[in-house]
Amino acid sequence: MTRGPGVTIAPGSPAREISTIGFVADRLEALRDALAARPGDAVPFDALAAEVWPDELPMHPRAALRTLVSRLRATEQVITEPTGYRLVPRPPAPCQLPADLPDFVGRREEIARLELIDAPVVAITGLPGVGKTVLAIREAHRLRERFPDGQLYVNLRGFSTGPPMTVQQALARFVKALGGGPEDDYRELLRNRRVLVVLDNATADVIEPLLPATPGCAAVVTSRQDLPQFAQVKLGVLTEQEAHELLKGMRIDGDTSELISLCARLPLALRIAGANLAGRHLPDYVEELREHRLRALEIEDDDTAVQAAFDLSYRKLSPRARRTFDFLGAVPGPDIPAGLAGDAIGELVSANLVQQNGDRHQLHDLLRLYAHERATAADRQAVFEWYLARVDGADAELNAGYTRLLPPSADRIPFPDREAAMTWFETERLNLVALAQDRPDAALVAGMRAYLLLSGYYGELRTIAGAALAGGETGQRAAAMRVCLAYLDWRFGEHRTAIAHCERAIAEFEAAGRQAEQATALNILAGIYHDIGELGLAREHLSAALELYGPNGMHAQLIGGLGNLGLVELELGRLDSGEEALRRSVRLAREIDDVQHTSNGLNNLGVVLAAQHKHTEAEEAFREALELSQKHGMRPVEMSARVEYAELLIATDRRDEAREHAARALELAGADDLFIEIDAGLVLAEVNRSVAEYDEVLRRAIDAEFRIIEVRALAGKAALLKDKALYDKAIERAESAGLRYRANLFRELSSGMS
């Protein structure tokens, strides 16, 4: 027997045995079943061989087994261990693909081209309404078997009337579907998986970060824009024959040639015309089109053409369905929750005017525009009130330790528990942000504030608070938006803007007689002055806040003020006083089950305990702070706790652990929290003993006026270089800012230098 010219396989050789086995499907299935019976564990080589060849082992079973495993690795992740092979169980495979159209017709040439393409990214492009999404979904369903680890789908709304989906929002959706959390990396989750990603209605600028870029994965992209950087299939209108097939599939009988001509063979127009023809006399309908819609259905102006088709379809709906359709146009986000869909939604789905996706419904981009134009002011008010009532109810249930900056609505809808509130916020977040942009309103933003801050959606809060303030809010409502923006500006190092926002908010709240809200603004202002090293002003504003909190019984706010006071006392060199304030803060937070202030207070207490070299107690505080913040999804607290804990780990000579925590904090901070970004960079400079990294931290801290980080970086660099002059500079900078604890610490550390 030969394999190729001059190659002979001798009888009895391993190659002949493997050839005889033939790698048949039943052997592969037996191997996988044997590995899957002990998921995650190494199955001994001999045991595997006995399972695969129960009747008679090959002459060289391990060689045969090794070859069979190499075949199995085409579809499974198999790890070689010293004692055997281990199967890595596949995580649950998400399938986000919309349903394939049962009456899909035509596109034979395009499908044939798609089948011939061997590329990791395929782009389907063309004009609106030409059927890009339909073809992409058909192609994705055809490819499903090749991607057993799941199929991801997102409508990026690049050409819709509302705000497009951002890269960050799409990534969050994908990460969640893959079983990850806010801290997980999309492409890392795809490692060793075979996943198909469909990016629908994309613009060229958002595609690259959403591509899997992982061997074994692939992507299908649809766009109105040409995408020549990818393997591209451009769609035109249907052929005459395909248009006839489409209408026949919709049970439209008779001569449809003129109808097809009037619809300009545009698939969306044909489908809408077909829906309107249900139960109608075809010649009468064609006559109506001829008289009223001919110009509107011309392809030269497809927006106008499609709108005319929408209008005709709309007129054929029942009065109840028309009212429902109009109302749906007032929902500004990407989809419609069940509570807003209305009882006539089934008729709209049947007419192909609305798409159903689980318990939610979606309108095609152009249909949404058409519906949006039909929606009345009363519709928009009703949608706003529906969301505001639920925002207020969910915000009340979070019990997040944030002062509600504006009174909630009287009609708020209660939620059963905190988890339900968080889930609802996450589900509706895109709609809520779109609503707050479409109709800027301080009350809506105030109700979303705690959720967006806890979940780390800083950019979205900045956008909607800024829109509300720019929209002409005054008095207490303007002050509430200034508090939101002040906090965000502070975290991003824009201190002077943050201070200005706080000072105006304090005056506006005082004028309105709102002491709790005024104290909140004072507390934020104190935090800003703390970070820029103006401790006298920080303590002055904290004292003013505490005076307002105490007499008014605002226990949650008092807890936060005490926590900030503890940190100020630390920097002033009053460590015992700082510890006392923080222990009281944690105790009060536990008494009212305020997890946000409990975790934040524990983190700050850990800082003061570490400064007193109470390392065991400090570590206990940091660990509990981390556990609480992760359990309840409080990203800002988790970031801070990781950085502070990393400092303790360095002090106790556990540098590898410190590096892991600082790096994770850096990932969580992203581009939204400059303070954490620079602070984590300082920890990494210390762990890596890098002068260059210290210099970069110094540059950024000075630019952003983070004085405490600046003096810590100076001292760290001085210790690394054993440079007393640099220590003296750190001491001078600390003293000028009133940072007595830092100045005394640096003196002690530099005392042994000449």
Q: What is the mean pLDDT of the chain?
A: 84
Within this chain, do residues 519 and 494 fall inside the same structural domain, yes or no?
Answer: yes
Residues 709, 640 share a domain: no
Provide the 3-class DSSP secondary structure of residue 355.
strand
pLDDT of 10 strictly over 50? no
At 36, the amino acid letter reads: A
Band of the pLDDT at 79, cuts 50, 70, 90? confident
Label residue 146 left, alpha or beta by phi (over 0 means left) and psi (-120 to 50 means alpha).
alpha
**Structure tokens of 499?**
């201070």
Task: Give the C-alpha separation, 98 to 360, whole Å.
Answer: 12
Mean pLDDT of 362-376: 80
- Domain of 478, CATH number, reads 1.25.40.10
**Do the domain assignments include residue 192?**
yes
Across 309-432, the runs of DSSP E, i.e. the strands, are: 355-357, 360-362
Q: Tell me the pLDDT tens digit for each residue of 96-132.
A: 898 887 778 888 889 999 988 889 999 998 766 788 8
Which of 180, 211, 234 terminates a domain? The answer is 234
Give the model confidence (pLDDT) of 666-698 as tens digits.
Answer: 888 877 788 899 999 999 999 999 999 999 999
Instruction: Give 171-200 pLDDT, tens digit per residue.
Output: 999 998 888 888 888 998 898 888 999 999
CA distance 327 to 371: 8
Dist CA 36 CA 48 (whole Å): 11
Which stretches of 399-512 are DSSP H helices? 418-438, 442-455, 458-470, 475-491, 495-512
Q: Give residue 3's pLDDT.
A: 32
Comparing 595 with 549, the larger pLDDT belongs to: 595
Q: Which of 298, 315, 332 finishes a domain?
A: 315
Tens digit of each residue's pLDDT (9 = 90 or more) over 399-409: 666 778 888 88
Residue 288, SS3?
Answer: helix
Residue 608 confidence (pLDDT) above 50 = yes
576: containing domain: 558-662
User: Positive or negative, the Cα torsion across 604, 607, 612, 616?
Assistant: positive
Q: How far apart are CA 696 and CA 586, in angstroms?
A: 35
Assess whether 132 and 20 both reside in one domain: no
The CA distance from 151 to 144, in Å, is 7
Range 533-542 contact pairs with CB under 8 angstroms and sequence separation of 24 or more: 533/707, 533/708, 533/710, 533/711, 533/736, 533/737, 533/738, 533/739, 534/707, 534/737, 534/738, 535/568, 535/571, 535/572, 535/737, 535/738, 535/739, 536/738, 538/564, 538/568, 539/565, 539/568, 539/572, 542/568
Sign of dihedral through CA atoms 336, 337, 339, 344?
positive
Residue 7, domain member (yes or no): no
* Beta-carbon contacts of residue 654 (< 8 Å; ≥ 6 apart): none
Q: Confirm whether 148 is domain-assigned.
A: yes
Question: Is 193 a member of any domain?
Answer: yes
Phi, psi of 494 (to 5 degrees): -95, 70
Sheet arrangement for strand 84-87: 42-44, 84-87, 78-80
My answer on whether 573 and 549 are in the same domain is no
The percentage of residues in the chain with a pLDDT greater than 90, rounded to a whole number, is 35
Burial class of residue 169 (count of CB atoms within 10 Å of its CB; 0-12, 13-18, 19+): buried
Of 145-159, 301-315, 461-475, the one with minimum mean pLDDT is 301-315
Confidence of residue 309 (pLDDT cuts 50, 70, 90): very low
Whether 247 is in a domain gets the answer yes
Average pLDDT over residues 515-523: 89
Per-residue confidence (pLDDT) for residue 186, from 0 to 100: 92
pLDDT at 691: 93
CATH code of residue 160: 3.40.50.300
pLDDT score recorded for residue 500: 96
Residue 435, in any domain of the structure:
no
Q: Which residues contact 328 (CB under 8 A, 6 or more apart)?
A: 336, 340, 341, 342, 348, 354, 361, 363, 371, 375
**DSSP per-residue string spanning 519-566:** HHHHHHHHHHHHHTT-HHHHHHHHHHHHHHHGGGT-HHHHHHHHHHHH
Q: Are 132 and 229 found together in one domain?
A: yes
Question: Which tokens hold the place of 692?
Answer: 């260059």
For tokens 């979205």, name the residue. 460
Domain count for the chain, please give it.
Answer: 7
**Is residue 436 in some structural domain?**
no
What was the pLDDT predicted at 5? 32
Same domain, 304 and 331: no
Residues 286 and 258 in one domain: yes
Last residue of a domain, one of 234, 262, 291: 234
Q: Give the pair of three-digit tokens for residue 698.
A: 């110094």
Please indicate, yes or no, if residue 531 is contained in any of the structural domains. Answer: yes
Percent of the chain at pLDDT exceeding 70: 89
Count Cα atoms within 13 angstroms, Cβ side, for 423. 6
452-510 residue pLDDT tens: 988 888 889 999 999 999 998 899 999 999 999 999 998 888 889 999 999 999 999 99
- The reply to whether 607 and 724 lie within a common domain is no
Q: pLDDT tens-digit profile of 696-722? A: 999 999 988 888 899 899 989 988 999
Contacts of 273 (CB under 8 A, 6+ apart): 259, 262, 263, 285, 289, 309, 312, 313
Are residues 222 and 255 part of one domain?
no
Same domain, 549 and 655: no
Sign of the CA dihedral with 637 first, then 643, 646, and 651 last: negative
Which of 404-418, 518-532, 544-558 has the lowest average pLDDT?
A: 544-558
Q: Are residues 216 and 248 in the same domain?
A: no
Give the residue, 558 or 156, on which the prediction is more confident. Answer: 156
pLDDT in tens, 234-289: 888 788 999 998 888 888 878 888 888 877 787 877 887 787 776 667 887 788 77
> 149 and 221: one domain?
yes
Contacts of 595 (CB under 8 A, 6+ apart): 399, 401, 589, 628, 632, 634
